[in-house]
Amino acid sequence: MNTAMWQEIHHQPEVAEKILEEYLPKADYYRGLLLEKKKLILTGIGASLNACYMARYAFLKYGNLAPQIIQSDELPYVLPGIDRDTLVIFVSQSGESYETKLFGQKLKEQGVEFWGITNDASSSLARHAKEVLLLHSGREISSATKTNLASLLILYILAAGYDVQVQAELKRLPGLIQKTLEGCMERLSPLAEKLLETEQFYILGTGANAAAALEGALMMKEKTFIHTAGTSISDFRHGAVEVVEKGLPILLLASGEENRERALGHGEYLKRIGADVTLCMDQESQALPTIRVEACMEVLSPAVFLIPLQLLAERVAVKKGLDVDGFRYLSKVVDTYTKDDCAG
C-alpha cells in the first residue's frame, strides 16, 4: 500500500495545474501592486521558508524588488525599519503558526500591508492579510510536498509571471513534474539502498537548486532521521568538504549546461577523495550515477528537482520501516512549546 506521502507527492501535477489556472492570469495585477512598493520581505519557517529561498532567484532576475528573506521569528529585528513602502509576504501552509499570528498583528498595528500564502482559507493569516493566495492543495498529512510546491509556484508567478517566456515555461511545469515522477523512481533505488547504511548525507546544489538542497535535507531529516545537510556546492567546498570520508553519500543537483559542468567537475573531485557521489541533473552523465529529471528554465528548475528529493525521503523511510506519515515530535501547526515539553 502506498503511503499518504507517496500519494501527496503524486498529486502535485494536479495541484500545479490549479495554481497556474488560478494565479497566472492575475500576474500583471500582482506585478502592479509590487511596483508600488520599495521593499519586499518574504518570511516563513521550515518548508515555507525554503520556498522563499527557492523563489528568490526568480525575484532577482525578473522582479523589480530584491527580496529580503527572513525567518519569521527574526521579524522583530526588522520591524522598526518596516514602513508603508514595504510589502511583507507571509508563507505559512497552516496560516496559524505562532510567529505568523504574532507578527502579523504587529504589522497591522504599524499600518504595514502584508499578504498571506496559505492552504487554509479560515486561518488567521487568511482573515487578516490584505491579499490572500490560497494553495488549493487539499489536506496534507505527511511532510510538506504539494503545499511546498504550490507555495513555490505562487511566488514564481508573483516574481516573474508577467514575463511571456516565463509564462510559457510555467505552463509546462505540470507536465514536466509528471514526467519526472514517472521517470526517476527506478534511478533513485541504488541511492536509497546506500542511505539505509549511513548516518549522514549531503545534498549539494548549484544555482537556484542550492535552495532546493535545503528543502531536500529538511525532508530527509523529518522522514528518515538521517543527519542530512543541504547547501550550495561552492559553500561546501569552502569548509564542509573536510568532513568527507570514504563512502560518504553526496547528491549533487544541477540544471542547465553551465551548472551541469560545474557539478560534474566537483563530483569527480569528491569521488577522488572518497565520497560516494550521485548526480541529479536534467541530462544523462556517463561519468557518475545520474538521477535524471526533465529540463526546464534554470530559475524555475527547483519545482522539478523537488520531486526526486521528496521521493527519496519517502522511499528511504519506507525501507527503514519508519512511520512515513507520522511525526515523533513535530506538529503540522507549530506553536509555542509547553513547560512540560521543555522539561528534563
| pLDDT beyond 90 at 100 | no
Confidence at 343, pLDDT banded by 50, 70, 90: very low
Confidence at 64, pLDDT banded by 50, 70, 90: confident
Q: Which domains does the chain have, with CATH numbers?
A: 4-173 (3.40.50.10490), 184-319 (3.40.50.10490)
Whether the CB-CB separation of 172 and 24 falls below 8 Å is answered with no
Rounded distance, CA 64 to CA 32, Å?
11
Per-residue pLDDT tens digits for 292-338: 999 999 999 999 999 999 999 999 999 999 999 999 887 755 444 34
Q: What share of the chain in percent tops pLDDT 90?
A: 81
Residue in the structure block whose three cell numbers are 500582482: 30
Instruction: Over range 245-250, report the average pLDDT.
Output: 96
Confidence at 339, pLDDT banded by 50, 70, 90: very low
Per-residue pLDDT tens digits for 6-43: 999 999 999 999 999 999 999 999 999 999 999 999 99
* pLDDT confidence of residue 316: 97
Predicted structure pTM score? 0.94
Rounded distance, CA 32 to CA 330, Å?
39
Confidence at 106, pLDDT banded by 50, 70, 90: confident
* pLDDT confidence of residue 309: 98
* pLDDT confidence of residue 99: 83
More confident residue, 113 or 59: 59
* pLDDT confidence of residue 333: 57
| pLDDT beyond 70 at 155 | yes
